[in-house]
Amino acid sequence: MLVDSHCHLDRLDLSHCGGSVESALQQARSRGVSQFLCVGISLEQLPAMMAIVDQYDDVHASAGFHPLEDMSGGLDTDKLRSWASDRRIVAVGETGLDYFYAKDSASDQQKHFITHLKVAAEVNKPVIIHSREAREDTIDSIKNYAGSAAGVLHCFTENWGMAKRAIDMGFYISISGIVTFKNADALREVVKKIPLERLMVETDSPYLAPIPHRGKPNQPAYVRDVAEYIAELRGIKLELLAEQTTANFQRLFF
């Protein structure tokens, strides 16, 4: 059984998934996906997201404020803390640093990231981290503020040095469909090195559809394509990869 460890069910292009979230989930289940983590990107949109999540026993949720969202309104720490304490919320995030798309807002991103890390430590839940072209700052913030909170670097595209440092701090590395892209040779080398007991798979749907679906809106069912690709890359059976990544997901979030 597989898990899609990172998807945005409230943002799916439903016309590509059979018309409803239910049919998107059904398609995924029929390809062996047994659990889904629907990741929050804005506290404002969280109630609407939870209205979807609450309908399904196999869908879990996180609460956070994405570094690429509009930050002009600031981050309400009490609201984040209150959501993070909700029993339906299994993790804090996504949060993090994206200097590739938004170097301009770096200082706000850092402030928000630190708040998420502190809240995660307070409520003793893992943190879901988005990090692009911000390796040193991401690792330093984890080191200084995550306390005992572990977590996952999601949609990982950075180098082995960063992966190794995160793993050494108890973190997991989640790989998306980017690993299937033609120009992802460097990432493929990293993916071969990640210890199996620290690896997860995700779609980050509706973004980043893996080959052979590239160019179409992504959906949770495609996590199987990501998993098949990684299993082949590492020369192991899909069953083993599925079993191990699912066990990792359980260990981190439950």
116 binds Zn ion (CB under 5 A): no
198 binds Zn ion (CB under 5 A): no
112 binds Zn ion (CB under 5 A): no
Binding mask 147-186 for Zn ion (x = CB under 5 A): ----------------------------------------
Nearer to Zn ion, 4 or 225 (CB): 4
- Residues that bind Zn ion (rule: CB under 5 A) add up to a total of 2
Structure tokens at 198: 């620290």
213 binds Zn ion (CB under 5 A): no
Nearer to Zn ion, 10 or 204 (CB): 204
| Contact pick of 60, 125, 130, 224 for Zn ion (by CB under 5 A) | 130
Closest residue to Zn ion: CB criterion:
130
Identify whether the C-beta of residue 177 lies closer than 8 Å to the C-beta of residue 222.
Answer: yes
Minimum distance, C-beta of residue 57 to Zn ion, in the bound complex (Å): 22
132 binds Zn ion (CB under 5 A): no
Task: At 38, give phi and psi (nearest 5°).
Answer: -90, 120
Tell me the CA end-to-end span of the chain in Å, nearest whole number.
Answer: 17
Of 251, 245, 248, give the one whose Cα is nearest residue 33.
Answer: 245
Enumerate residues 6+ apart whose C-beta is below 8 A from 78: none
Q: What's the rounded Cα separation, in Å, for the pair 220 and 110?
A: 30
Minimum distance, C-beta of residue 67 to Zn ion, in the bound complex (Å): 8
Q: What's the rounded Cα separation, in Å, for the pair 216 and 222?
A: 11
**Stretch (H or E) spanning 37:** strand 33-38
Contacts to Zn ion by CB under 5 A: 130, 204
